[in-house]
Every structure is written in structure tokens, then in C-alpha cells.
């Protein structure tokens, strides 16, 4: 028997045929998801089926970046990948690189192209993101006037702060006229001077959310002077304005929580601040009062009146001391003078004369203290306390008065 091949050779040959086929190396296949399994390794095993057949599919963990949602049974999807043969089992399967929901394939490519273009223009740059004011008074809302999204925003906003003002611009959020309606809403609320703006809608398919992927809407959000929160669809939905907006909220409800502060918490915080401020002010007042009292005490000490009073008191003290010293000196001098007077009295001739003595004056007018100063027949004058006596020397006699001496 000629040309007999092994199973491996046949499978390898078929695999090479598939690999050399240009169409099979990059192919879009659409169908319904079935038998979808997420493996612990990160790989995803599933099948695509339609009314006529089924094809096995696999997406390796390294290609998961091409999947923006979680696949579920029954979903209609479009898979980009290549057809290959798994030699061990001898069956072919679709190796997926990217997966999008059915109907969104062209839109997805358009989405990626616009996303790349706007990113290159710098519209997604973080330096252009404005902070959301922490305490807002007015919130502008651009969304449909009916639906769960606007009800959720209103309910949560009023629950968090019953005093916040909500201004709704009823915009179209789906259809051909939706982008321009959203742009008009953004510009109208910007003129109203709201503190923050929520732009969004509830969930839906990529086609339903496409109005928020239009370039005109992205530019309106980027050029808006009011901080914008995007709130489009569910957490897994991503639109262009999510990248352009100042803040992305996963849902409209979350946007209301991000835009409106909790009034009770703010009030408690204000009370805490007020208490701390009162305490700080009280401490400062007490400190300032003590400092003022110390300064006043220093002023009282350093005041000229105090100095004058001290000097005046010093002068009075010195005057009293001077008077007392003068009185003491006068008393001492008076006493000394009295002693001198007494001594002078004792030494005075008059005192001697009063004691029976007389003052003898010779004819030459000098006092006579020796008998040799007079001769017999000389006249002399004897002075007594009440007058003088004129007399003549009749005789003279010299003698010596005894002197008592006490030997020590």
C-alpha cells in the first residue's frame, strides 16, 4: 500500500493548510455564546453557534485585553481571531484575539479610532482634570427626563443633602439627534452657573450609548468651564466622555454620591470645627488678656506718675531726715553751748568777783597779779561786782599759799 500517513501527519498537514490560508488568519465570526467557561489559568473556553452549526473557540489569558465585558450564555458576539487546528484532538477551533458584542464591531473600531485621536490631542491628560468642589449648592444634570437614571440621581442627592438644588436639562440620550441635544444641555447649564454637572444615562447596548461617544459631545465636555462627572451606563460600560470628563462615575447613582456631599457629616464636621475654633479663640483671648495685664503692670511700674510719686516720697523722707538731723544737731549744739556758757560763767571775772574776789588794776591800767607790780604809796583801783574802789598801797607783804598735792 502506497501513501499511507499517520494521524499526526494528517493533522499536521491540515494545520499547515489552515496556517497558509490568508482569510483564516484574520477572520471575524459572529454567533451566540454557549458552553462559556472561565478557567483558573485565565483562559476562556466557549463555543459560537448559530442555527446551522457550532465552532469551538478559545481566548488565551494573554489576549484578555481584547475583551471589555464578561461573556455570558446566549450573548450575540463578534470574534476576531484565526482558525487553527488542535493536533492532539484533530479538530479545528477559533483562537480569539478580540471579542465585541454583535452589532458593535464597526462601532467599536470607530470608538477606538476616536479614542486614539482624542488621546493624541491631549484631551484625556490628567492636568486638564478639574477637582470636584467638595460643597456644592447647585448640580446640573444632563440626561433623559424619564427613566431610572434621573430618579436615582434625584433620590440619592436629596437623601444626602435635602438643601442642594438640582437643575435638570431634559436631553435626548439616544438616536441621531441625541449628541446635539446633549451638547446644548451642557452649554445651557454652564451658562446657569451650576457648581458641578452630571452627564449620563442608564445602561444599554453600545448602540444605545453611542451618543456619548461622539466627538462633539467629548469636545463640549472638555471645553466646559464647570467640572463634569460622566455617568453613562453600568460599571462595565465605557464611553469617550468617561475619558474626557473630570471624573468618571460607574453609575448615575454613584455620580450623585460623588457630586453631593453628605449634609449630616458636613454639619457634624462644622460643629467639630466650631468647637475647636471656640476653644482656640478662648485660649488666644485668655493669653492676650494675661499679656495685656502683664503689660499694664509694667506700664504702672514704668509710668512717670509712679516715678514722680517715688521721687516725691524720697524728697519727703529726706526732708524729714534733714529736719530730724537739724533738730538733733541743734539740741546737741544747744547743750554744748549751755556747757560752754556754764564754763564761761565759771571763768568769768564777774563770777569770781561775786565770790568775794576783786580785780585790781594798777596805775598803768594793767591788771595786778603780783605784788611786785605795785609799790608803797601807789594808787590802784579794785573792781567789785557793784562798783570800784580807789585805794593806795600802804604796805606790801609777800607770802606763799600752801598747795595740797596728792601723789598717785
Q: Which grid cell is 65?
A: 485585553
Residue 401 DSSP SS3: coil
Q: Which value, to the nearest 10 degrees, does the dihedral of the CA atoms of residues 105, 109, 112, 117 take?
A: -160
Please report the pLDDT score of residue 407 as a whole number: 46
CA–CA–CA angle 228, 229, 235 (5° rounding)? 155
Residue 40 DSSP SS3: coil
Please report the pLDDT score of residue 190 as a whole number: 94
pLDDT in tens, 226-264: 999 999 988 878 899 999 999 999 999 999 999 999 999
Please report the pLDDT score of residue 253 as a whole number: 93
Question: What is d(CA 299, CA 313) in angstroms, rounded to the nearest whole number?
Answer: 20
Please report the pLDDT score of residue 105 as a whole number: 55
Sign of the Cα pseudo-torsion (324, 327, 331, 333, in order): positive
Please report the pLDDT score of residue 90 as a whole number: 79
Please report the pLDDT score of residue 219 as a whole number: 94
Please report the pLDDT score of residue 352 as a whole number: 66
Please report the pLDDT score of residue 245 as a whole number: 95
Residues with pLDDT less than 50, the chain: 407-408
Please report the pLDDT score of residue 408 as a whole number: 42
Please report the pLDDT score of residue 106 as a whole number: 60
Please report the pLDDT score of residue 111 as a whole number: 84
Please report the pLDDT score of residue 1 as a whole number: 56
CA–CA–CA angle 126, 130, 133 (5° rounding)? 145
Please report the pLDDT score of residue 288 as a whole number: 92
How distant, in Å, are the alpha carbons of 135, 172, 225, 230 from that of 184?
Answer: 26, 10, 14, 16
Residue 317 has what DSSP assignment? H
How distant, in Å, are the alpha carbons of 122, 298, 300, 319 from that of 309?
Answer: 82, 16, 12, 15
Contact criterion met (CB below 8 Å) for 280 and 271: no
Please report the pLDDT score of residue 395 as a whole number: 86
Please report the pLDDT score of residue 349 as a whole number: 67
Please report the pLDDT score of residue 308 as a whole number: 78
Amino acid at each position: 500500500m502506497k501513501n499511507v500517513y499517520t494521524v499526526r501527519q494528517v493533522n499536521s498537514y491540515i494545520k499547515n493548510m489552515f496556517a497558509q490560508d490568508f482569510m483564516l488568519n484574520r477572520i471575524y465570526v459572529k454567533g451566540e455564546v454557549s458552553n462559556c467557561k472561565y478557567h483558573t489559568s485565565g483562559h476562556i473556553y466557549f463555543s459560537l453557534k448559530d442555527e446551522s452549526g457550532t465552532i469551538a473557540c478559545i481566548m488565551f489569558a494573554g489576549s484578555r485585553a481584547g475583551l471589555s465585558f464578561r461573556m455570558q450564555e446566549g450573548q450575540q458576539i463578534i470574534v476576531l481571531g484565526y482558525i487553527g487546528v488542535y493536533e492532539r484532538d484533530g479538530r479545528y477551533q477559533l483562537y480569539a484575539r478580540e471579542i465585541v458584542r454583535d452589532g458593535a464591531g464597526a462601532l467599536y473600531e470607530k470608538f477606538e479610532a476616536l479614542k486614539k485621536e482624542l488621546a493624541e490631542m491631549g484631551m484625556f491628560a490628567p492636568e486638564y482634570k478639574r477637582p470636584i468642589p467638595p460643597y456644592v449648592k447647585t448640580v446640573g444634570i444632563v440626561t433623559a427626563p424619564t427613566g431610572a437614571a434621573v430618579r436615582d440621581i434625584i433620590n440619592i442627592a436629596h437623601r444626602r443633602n435635602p438643601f442642594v438644588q438640582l437643575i435638570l436639562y431634559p436631553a435626548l440620550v439616544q438616536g441621531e439627534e441625541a449628541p446635539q441635544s446633549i451638547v446644548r444641555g451642557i452649554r445651557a447649564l454652564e451658562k446657569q452657573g451650576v457648581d458641578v454637572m452630571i452627564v449620563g444615562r442608564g445602561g444599554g447596548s453600545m448602540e444605545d450609548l453611542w451618543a456619548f461617544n461622539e466627538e462633539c459631545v467629548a469636545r463640549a465636555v472638555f471645553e466646559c468651564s464647570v467640572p463634569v462627572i460622566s455617568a453613562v451606563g453600568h460599571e462595565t460600560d465605557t464611553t469617550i466622555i468617561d475619558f474626557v470628563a473630570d471624573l468618571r462615575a460607574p453609575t448615575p447613582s454613584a455620580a450623585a454620591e460623588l457630586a453631593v456631599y453628605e449634609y449630616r457629616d458636613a454639619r457634624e464636621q462644622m460643629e467639630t470645627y466650631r468647637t475647636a475654633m471656640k476653644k482656640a479663640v478662648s485660649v488666644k483671648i485668655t493669653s492676650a488678656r494675661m499679656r495685656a495685664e502683664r503689660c499694664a503692670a509694667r506700664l504702672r511700674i514704668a509710668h512717670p506718675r509712679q516715678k514722680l510719686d517715688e521721687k516725691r516720697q524720697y524728697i519727703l523722707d529726706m526732708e524729714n531726715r534733714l529736719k530730724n538731723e537739724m533738730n538733733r544737731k541743734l539740741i546737741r549744739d544747744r547743750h554744748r553751748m549751755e556747757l560752754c556758757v556754764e564754763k564761761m560763767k565759771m571763768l568769768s571775772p564777774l563770777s569770781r568777783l561775786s565770790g568775794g574776789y576783786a580785780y585790781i588794776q594798777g596805775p598803768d591800767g594793767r591788771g595786778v597779779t603780783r605784788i611786785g607790780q605795785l609799790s608803797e604809796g601807789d594808787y590802784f583801783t579794785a573792781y567789785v561786782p557793784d562798783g570800784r574802789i580807789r585805794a593806795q598801797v600802804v604796805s606790801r607783804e609777800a607770802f606763799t599759799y600752801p598747795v595740797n598735792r596728792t601723789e598717785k
